[in-house]
Amino acid sequence: MSALDQALQTQLKNIQAKTGKTLDELIKLVKSSGMSKHGEIRDMLKRDLALGHGDANTLTHVALKSDGASQAEGKSGGEVLDEIYSGAKAGLRSAHEKLMEAIQKFGEFEIAPKKGYISLRRKKQLAMIGPGTNSRVDLGLNLKDAPRAGRLEALPPKGMCSHRLKLTAAGEVDKEVIAWVKQAYDAAG
């Protein structure tokens, strides 16, 4: 089980302890509420069960199976990529594949497909890759304390990644980009 999966399981156990309800009971509560919108359900859980925003949000995703992992569940990596890079985004897949080709040379890591991107992990997450728009692949990296440098954009603290690179073509996956990814790879594990 990955560290992210373990963190989710711990959070769900804590939610059950806080509410005195099993996960099945909590999911049944959500389904019997008659609500279908994520925000409505989250707010109901915050109000009725006194859950914090993060716990209510996570429980809503679990109950609705709307988190990225649930959306990708049962699909092969190729099927997930086919969905991610479909339609107007199809031309971006070559940049994604060039990135993956370079990253695979570093050594072992885990690929966790999500609904609109893939997450790469070692002991912790090192990168996220997926379309940011119809014309750009976003490469999110975890580069602790790295300054903004050229194309490397620092992101707000406490996000899924500390930095982002915007790539519009496979030719932009150059030595500089690969060096930043290698730095994130080494730091993750």
The pLDDT-based confidence of 89 (bands split at 50, 70, 90) is very high
Pick the last residue of a domain from 66, 97, 112. 66
Kindly state whether residue 147 falls inside one of the protein's structural domains: yes
Average pLDDT, the chain: 86
Pick the last residue of a domain from 66, 85, 108. 66
Whether the predicted pLDDT of 69 surpasses 60? no
Average pLDDT of 107-117? 83
Task: Give how far the C-alpha of residue 10 lies from the chain's centroid of Cα atoms, to the nearest Å.
Answer: 18
Return the number of other C-beta atoms located less than 10 Å from residue 34's C-beta: 7
Kindly state whether residue 34 falls inside one of the protein's structural domains: yes
- What is the residue range of 123's domain? 77-187
Whether 152 and 180 have beta carbons less than 8 Å apart is answered as yes
Long-range contacts of residues 31-37, Cβ cutoff 8 Å, at least 24 apart: 31/63
Average pLDDT of 94-112? 91
Percent of the chain with pLDDT over 90: 49
Judge if 90 and 178 occupy the same domain. yes
Judge if 100 and 166 occupy the same domain. yes
Q: Which residue has the higher pLDDT, 174 or 75?
A: 174
* pLDDT tens profile 47-64: 999 998 888 888 887 887
Whether the predicted pLDDT of 77 surpasses 60? no
Judge if 89 and 46 occupy the same domain. no
With 0.85 as the threshold, say if the pTM is over it: no
Kindly state whether residue 151 falls inside one of the protein's structural domains: yes
Whether the predicted pLDDT of 68 surpasses 60? no
Judge if 85 and 178 occupy the same domain. yes
Closest CA to 99 of 188, 187, 3, 165: 165
Average pLDDT of 110-128? 85
Judge if 85 and 156 occupy the same domain. yes
Average pLDDT of 137-154? 87
pLDDT value, residue 147: 75
Average pLDDT of 144-154? 83
By CB atoms closer than 10 A (0-12, 13-18, 19+), residue 169 is middle
Judge if 50 and 117 occupy the same domain. no
